[in-house]
Amino acid sequence: MSPHDRYQSPLTSRYASAEMAHNFSENKRYSTWRQLWLNLAIAEKQLGLEDITDEAIAQMKEHLDDIDYELAAAEEKKRRHDVMAHVHTFGIAAPAAAGIIHLGATSCYVTDNGDLMIIRDAYDILLKKLPRVIDILAKFANEYRALPTLGFTHFQPAQLVTVGKRATLWLQELLWDLRNFERARNDLKFRGVKGTTGTQASFMSLFDGDHDKIEQLDQLVTELSGFSEAYPVCGQTYSRKIDIDVLYPLSAFGATAHKIATDIRLLANLKEVEEPFEKDQIGSSAMAYKRNPMRCERVCSLARHLMTLVNDAMATSSVQWFERTLDDSANRRISIPEAFLTADIVLTTLQNIFEGMVVYPQVIQRRINQELPFMATENVIMAMVKKGGDRQVCHEEIRVLSHQAAHVVKNEGGDNDLIERIKKTAYFAPIHGELDKLLDPSTFIGRAPEQVDSFLTKHVEPALAPYASVLASYQKAELSV
């Protein structure tokens, strides 16, 4: 059957990076199982189990990656058990080890420990990508630190901000996501060597009731597998509450990405800021002039899915009866890989957007010009008072002119001509020469540029410092489609 005759997840067939797709591949999963069986055998031999020979260890090391999938599939069909199918397949490849592979272990020794290793590696991939995204956006914020732009509350015109200051709002949330990714990755522990219901009873038999050796075995296998410690107790599986800790930061990042992409989509509608648009890109099959924000729309679409996946982990954790049930397995096979694959794709897409984001200062200035006269009325009143005017009289004069200008804008579709009206009104003659200064947008942005500088120096730079080598090996993001 051709691949085109079967459903393929678009996460891997269309969007995901090769690195993350490999991390959740069958090759990675089953070679990780074999590594875990090797680690167990090495530790058991080191602690005195004489049935494990040097030849067995050597053969296992030689066959960590050459997996006979046809044989494994046939074995699983016969045995209806994926772990035992792969135990048998590994034993065929390494016959000297066939009798000692999986010695004393339960299926969750490889499935759960393997998942924890794959999750750890998945976070390591994301923790190379998120700092790049933050770094690129930080450079954007610095470049536009002082460019005034109209602020919005309720998507209605508000006081001026700067393009760079707005970008720091996005950056701050991404920094929180970076913190959450780091916490989740560094909090991961190993399930360890715990046996069928977590009591290590099988190892009591293997090591003749030697508790110290069993604890040494647990720690040794943990360290051989790249972890410093294991969860102190477990049932048959590691607690599925851990999966909540794993997926929550990813879902929370989805909310961040959705907000950023939505802001850019709104700005694209205003023609103030746009995502990159390639020379031969087509925005619409019918409307040739269109420049649709398809990258940001993709981010929103995928982020919407990402935000929901933590609910799978919560629901699964809540119904794991006693030492375990198996209603977690099928769900986790979908939700955990999809969460990491989706986060990976969203990060790559955000990087691509930030690398080519375009700002249109003239459009921004025009929109400021439409709204700034109304915002400047208080400045006009204060300037008149300084010239000896009566505040109440001035307020009434400016109120009348403002309503006239608003009528032109709203009812006639014209430009905001409040300043021209002020210039033509004799009452305001004392400040006619100061109007340009009173309307300078840079006087309406408060400490926005300084806030950008402070934020980048005090918060972004320290957060990125541990990732200097990652940032030094920068590669431009390429979208597959």
- CA pair distance 378, 399, nearest whole angstrom: 11
Catalytic residue among 2, 4, 154, 228: 154
What Cα–Cα distance (Å) separates residue 299 from each residue in 306, 311, 337? 10, 20, 18
- CA pair distance 255, 86, nearest whole angstrom: 39
Q: What are phi and psi of 412, to 5 degrees?
A: -110, -10
State yes or no: is 284 an active-site residue: yes
- CA pair distance 356, 454, nearest whole angstrom: 25
| Three-class secondary structure assignment of the chain | CCHHHCCCCHHHHHHCCHHHHHHCCHHHHHHHHHHHHHHHHHHHHHCCCCCCCHHHHHHHHHCCCCCCHHHHHHHHHHHCCHHHHHHHHHHHHCHHHCCCCCCCCCHHHHHHHHHHHHHHHHHHHHHHHHHHHHHHHHHHHHHCCCCEEEEEECCEEEEEEEHHHHHHHHHHHHHHHHHHHHHHHHHCCECCCCCCCCCCHHHHHHCCCCHHHHHHHHHHHHHHCCCCCECCCCCCCCCCHHHHHHHHHHHHHHHHHHHHHHHHHHHHHHCCEECCCCCCCCCCCCCCCCCCCHHHHHHHHHHHHHHHHHHHHHHHHHCCCCCCCCCCHHHHHHHHHHHHHHHHHHHHHHHHHHHCCEECHHHHHHHHHHHHHHHCHHHHHHHHHHCCCCHHHHHHHHHHHHHHHHHHHHHCCCCCCHHHHHHHCHHHHHHHHHHHHHCCHHHHCCCHHHHHHHHHHHHHHHHHHHHHHHHHCCCCCCCCC
State yes or no: is 317 an active-site residue: no
Locate 465 and state its tokens.
């410092």
Is the CB of residue 380 less than 8 Å from the CB of residue 398?
yes
Catalytic residue among 13, 205, 211, 284: 284
Is the CB of residue 86 less than 8 Å from the CB of residue 92?
no
Residues with catalytic function: 154, 284
